[in-house]
Amino acid sequence: EQNVHEKINKQFEELIATLPSDKDHFEARPTGIFLASSLKSGTTWLKVIMFSTMNRSKFEFATHPLLTTGLHDCNPYLDTYIWDHDVEALPSPRLFASHSAYPLLPKSVRESVDCKVVYICRNPKDVFVSHYLFAMKLRPPMLPPISMEEAFDLFCRGVCEYGPYFEHVLGYWKASLESPGKILFLKYEEMRKEPVRYVKQLAEFLGEPFSAEEEKEGVIEEIVKLCSFEKLTSLEVNKTGKVAFVPEMLISNDNFFRKGQVGDSKNHLTPEMIERLDKITEEKLKGTGFAF
Ligand code: A3P
């Protein structure tokens, strides 16, 4: 295991050394669709919702590829996919996901007037707990464990993968206010409450609204059912399948599912932690017009 990590680190170092500092390697197409999120905000769920919504006329629900295909193949992370795939070979419309903060999205995506960005956010307490438990499962055994208290302190101080959480959310929030036709801002909690409503809104935003006939036939409900936590976790591919975002680092698909509940953080955080994070949240959001 140690060798694998050393090898990956070496690959990163060599790769970084070869990167120019001013050239963007990704060219967005006007038909491009991007899912953006910070970690553990419901990315996997929205990946499959977007894929099944955009491809609903191609597949039957009974034999849908999501029943047998890895979750991440349907909407790959541009952040890592671009390293070892020819993105130009993909047919339009290309569907990509990214955890990048808004200013770090490829310039051609930010500047395109036509391509669409869908952002999903989640309340910071659940994001922290979900991320901590996920990271602990994947943490290489050779590294010393990090306590929840220590990880929580880092999160509160903005030390997170892909950058400080609040800045990540607010970056996309502000961009969505400036360009509402280009950036759709969604909240995990609201989608959990009314998935049908938001899948409908998503399809309209992506320029593929459901027809009256599709609505009558219950296509939206089929998509919601196919992408539900219960359905996805019952599938063999998600119980035993694996994904490699980077070569030689396999992650079991079942790691992307835990409870899928709103508010589970109260079962893990102390009242003091909750008070601290609530206070930070209030301060960070003051004057922004945004609330979780
Ligand atoms: P919990 O750890 O709170 O259960 P991401 O996909 O961005 O990594 O987010 C992971 C979180 O989304 C996990 O939250 C996971 O259980 C939840 N999740 C995964 N699939 C889901 C689905 N189909 N519906 C709702 N939540 C889902």
Q: How far apart are CA 252 and CA 79, in angstroms?
A: 19
Instruction: List CB contacts of 64: < 8 A, sequence separation 6 or more.
Output: 52, 226
Ligand 1 atom nearest to CA at 37? 7
Q: How far apart are CA 135 and CA 1, in angstroms?
A: 16
Can 99 be counted among the known catalytic residues? yes
Tokens of 109: 């995506």
* Active-site option among 64, 72, 99, 168: 99
Interface confidence (ipTM) of the complex = 0.99
The residues lining ligand 1, judged by C-beta closer than 6 Å to any ligand atom, are 37, 39-45, 126, 130, 227-229, 232, 256-260, 264
Residue found under tokens 């400036």: 178
**pLDDT for the residue numbered 5:** 64
Longest dimension (CA), the chain: 57
How far is the centre of ligand 1, averaged over its atoms, from the C-alpha of 18 (Å)? 35
> What is the pTM assigned to this prediction?
0.92
Q: How far apart are CA 44 and CA 227, in angstroms?
A: 9
Ligand 1 atom nearest to CA at 228? 23
What is the CATH number assigned to the segment(s) 28-123+164-262?
A: 3.40.50.300
Q: Where are the alpha helices (DSSP H) in the chain?
A: 2-18, 43-54, 78-84, 107-111, 124-138, 148-156, 165-178, 188-193, 195-205, 212-217, 219-226, 229-234, 236-240, 271-285
Tell how many helices (H) and how many strands (E) occur in the chain.
14, 6
List the pLDDT tens digit at each of the 292 positions of the chain.
Answer: 556 667 777 787 788 778 766 677 899 999 999 999 999 999 999 999 999 999 999 999 999 999 999 888 888 889 888 888 899 999 999 999 999 999 999 999 999 999 999 999 999 999 999 999 999 998 888 888 899 999 999 999 999 999 999 999 999 999 999 999 999 999 999 999 999 999 999 999 999 999 999 999 999 999 999 999 999 999 999 999 988 877 777 889 999 999 999 999 999 999 999 999 999 999 999 999 999 9
Closest residue by Cα to atom 27, ligand 1, is 260
Mutating to test ligand 1, I would choose from 66, 130, 233 the residue with most ligand atoms within 8 A of its C-beta, which is 130
Smallest Cα–Cα separation from 155: which of 72, 55, 269, 22? 269
Residue found under tokens 């419901």: 42
Mutating to test ligand 1, I would choose from 39, 40, 49, 254 the residue with most ligand atoms within 8 A of its C-beta, which is 40
